[in-house]
Amino acid sequence: MRKHLAWYTKGLKNSSAIRNSINLIESQEDLINTLTEYFNLI
- Decide: helix, strand or coil at residue 19: helix
pTM: 0.77
Residues of the chain with pLDDT > 90: what percent?
Answer: 76
Q: Which percentage of the chain shows pLDDT scores above 70? A: 100
Q: Is the pLDDT of residue 6 over 90?
A: no
Residue 16: pLDDT band (50, 70, 90) is: very high
Q: Where are the beta strands (DSSP E) in the chain?
A: none
How high does pLDDT run on average in the chain?
92
